Amino acid sequence: MKRVLALVAGIVVSSSVLACNAEMGMGSFDTGRHGALVMAAVIGEARRDGVIERVDTDDAQALAKTRAQLWKMKLGQYQGEKPQFFFYQALENHWTDIRDFAGSTQISLHRPPTETMEDGVVMMSHGDVADALLNGKLTLEQAEQKGLVVFSGPEDQIEKIRQWIDKSIKTKGIFGL
């Protein structure tokens, strides 16, 4: 009986979140990673409150590539240690592998994730949050406090990645990015 009730509750909650998600104009999203449903609610609330803006596009893949290039330019300016991490866009199910390779920041888009991604540090968020970070409308600390960015993995590695991202988004490059 408990299993049946749990199943019914799961269906009701999932249906409610999907309905709210569609109502908020968030499109489809993936719930395959732990915390993705919570992230959907947090992103919807942040959009409603004007904390982040929704980027409308018909070409999600092109938008993901553009965002990856912006991350590469911003993160590539940082001269400190650049540990590998994975940026998981919870609502779109896009994985971005970010690492330093021979002194150059390398960014690769993946979908679906590979096994090696599960072993490293994962930064779960949304592309619109990344835009707000890159454009200086939101700091990493603010994003974490609001639940718009969630890290998982070894804490010492997470702290290095926080420093890398924080210092990179505060640095103006030659193009003002």
Residue 49 lies in a domain: no
Per-residue pLDDT of the chain (177 residues; tens, 9 = 90+): 545 444 444 444 444 444 333 333 444 444 455 667 788 788 889 889 988 887 766 666 677 677 776 777 777 666 666 677 777 777 666 667 776 665 566 666 655 555 555 567 888 888 888 888 887 888 899 999 999 998 888 888 889 888 888 887 776 544 444
Cβ contact 31:18 at 8 Å:
no
Residue 109 sits in a domain whose CATH number is 3.30.1050.10
Q: In the prediction, which pLDDT does 16 show?
A: 40
Give the whole-angstrom CA distance, residue 145 versus residue 56: 26
The model's pTM is: 0.64
Compute CA 71 distance to the chain's CA centroid, rounded to the nearest angstrom.
12
Q: Is residue 55 part of a domain?
A: no
Quote the domain boundaries for residue 93: 60-170
Domains of the chain: total: 1
Q: Is residue 24 part of a domain?
A: no
Residue 72 lies in a domain: yes
Residue 38 covered by a domain: no
**2 lies in some domain:** no
As given in the structure block, the two tokens for residue 130 are: 């990344």
Measure the CA–CA gap between 76 and 138, rounded to whole angstroms: 20
Cβ atoms 128, 53 nearer than 8 A: yes
Q: What is the pLDDT of residue 6?
A: 45
Does residue 16 form part of some domain?
no
Angle, in degrees to the nearest 10, between helices 155-170 and 60-76 = 90
Task: Please give the structure tokens belonging to residue 157.
Answer: 């590695």
Give a yes or no: residue 30 inside a domain.
no
